[in-house]
Structure 1
């Protein structure tokens, strides 16, 4: 099975202060409803921006002169972003995140015009896809977190299982809490701050290992489960590997303070890393944006899927 790899700026403060307390069963059941609503809006903005990216792709097939790369502008950067440098990309991400879905067309058209001003009158968004209704989107985003919250509450009540909403299937509460939190936490965080898409064995720690280069600054993603480890110390927590080990997993994490140094060292060794330059560029852009935002960086698989139409 292949890997839909991704590179993420990660707001650990949000995870530690909002998501992990919710998963630990603390606070009210509606404690993250504001984040869910924000994630739904961001999903709609992403979808509309990618409709423009796909429309641009259809036009660019006949334009070899355009500085357009589908693996960067469609299946790489989040939204549709044309421009170079982490500061500019970070600013464009901020603009998309602050734009209601009704305003995406103007922003995406601006991006098209950066390639060629004449294209703004020619490129139209791809109208072939449709998103589910807002309530369905919301449930798809928060549903897994509610199951994990229920598992934590079950453990606190001395129960060993929790029933999954919908089909009523009994699930092992301890297994859910100790094994499923990192991916689902990152998946939700990425719904608020999208990352970069890639494909294959392109994650930084794998590239460093293959090249015999130390992945300095990269560490196991225990920060994604910190509060739960504190609240449930008696559980058998599996080792958190500092690299990707399979599909639907979170690999290494770089704390915000270590991102500038880790990024610099990767750039120093880039000629030794066995990877297309385009993919190395994606890693560097994601780390550069994380540096601009002052947040952490993380590698993962199956957060996105081009084949399933789940784009960033």
Structure 2
């Protein structure tokens, strides 16, 4: 069984103030439409930045001297970011997140110029891929959230099932709420604040366990469904482990206050962790950016998929 692993800065206040109340059935059905619209724009920015990254890959395939590391600049960091250290990477991420589609080209060309000042004039963005329209992107983002909200509303009304909006199937509302919320919430949060891509058994809690080390700072991801646990205490809620246990899984979560300590711990123990240096760098960068932004960190699987073209 393979894993598309990822490392995420996570905006827990956004999840706790906007997403979880919505899933719990509070507010209006269109109560997160502003977040969905923002996520659609960011999806387009991600796609355009990766088109430039693929263009660089095509141009530099036989020239390693330029320093374009595909596992870092294409299949690793979000968007297309060339730079060192959390400060530079965070600054580039913030610019991409706020950019118009036209401004994405400007930022991407600046990044390409950091590899080689002559390169921007030689590279063109890849044109093979194509995104669906905004309405289709919005539907894909909103659909899982609306099903979970429907489950919560059904339970509040005393109904044990909710109908799938596409095909009318009856779904167990309690099972949906107690099993699907953490991954669904993280996946949507990552649409607003993208994480790092990896592949395989590279998540930090596993690396620590294999080395016989404590995963300092990592906790179970109960913050991702905490409000629902509180508002539906009669449901049988599983106790999630503080590590990844399968595909489409959320693992250990580091609160915002602990990201610096977790990052320092992993850096001190780097020599004992059995992992490719590029993947260790991705973990370090994601934790560093989380620290710069003042947000939490989480490990997960199947949020992204290089094979399916679902990039960060």
Using the size of structure 2 for normalisation, the TM-score is 0.99
Matched with 2:187 is 187
Matched with 1:69 is 69
Matched with 1:139 is 139
Matched with 1:206 is 206
CA offset digits 1:166-196 (Å, max 9, x no partner)? 1001000000000000000000000000000
Instruction: Please report how far the alpha carbon of residue 62 of structure 1 lies from its aligned counterpart in structure 2 after TM superposition.
Output: 2.0
Distance 2:233 2:258 in 1: 28
SS of the aligned residue for 2:253 comes to strand
Matched with 1:35 is 35
Instruction: Please report how far the alpha carbon of residue 68 of structure 1 lies from its aligned counterpart in structure 2 after TM superposition.
Output: 1.1
Matched with 2:304 is 304
RMSD: 0.5
Instruction: Please report how far the alpha carbon of residue 63 of structure 1 lies from its aligned counterpart in structure 2 after TM superposition.
Output: 1.1
Instruction: Please report how far the alpha carbon of residue 308 of structure 1 lies from its aligned counterpart in structure 2 after TM superposition.
Output: 0.1
CA offset digits 1:79-131 (Å, max 9, x no partner)? 00000000110000000011011221111011100000100100110010100
Distance 1:303 1:276 in 2: 21
SS of the aligned residue for 1:258 comes to helix
Q: Note if 1:97 corresponds to 2:97.
A: yes
Instruction: Name which of structure 1's ranges 63-72 and 201-210 shifts more when overlaid on structure 2.
Output: 63-72
Q: Following TM superposition, where does structure 1 have runs of at least 4 consecutive aligned residues deviating by more than 3 angstroms?
A: none
Matched with 1:229 is 229
Number of matched pairs: 312
Instruction: Please report how far the alpha carbon of residue 223 of structure 1 lies from its aligned counterpart in structure 2 after TM superposition.
Output: 0.1
Matched with 2:78 is 78
Instruction: Please report how far the alpha carbon of residue 70 of structure 1 lies from its aligned counterpart in structure 2 after TM superposition.
Output: 0.1
SS of the aligned residue for 1:206 comes to helix
SS of the aligned residue for 2:220 comes to coil
Instruction: Name which of structure 1's ranges 96-105 and 78-87 shifts more when overlaid on structure 2.
Output: 96-105
- 5+ long unaligned stretches in structure 1: none
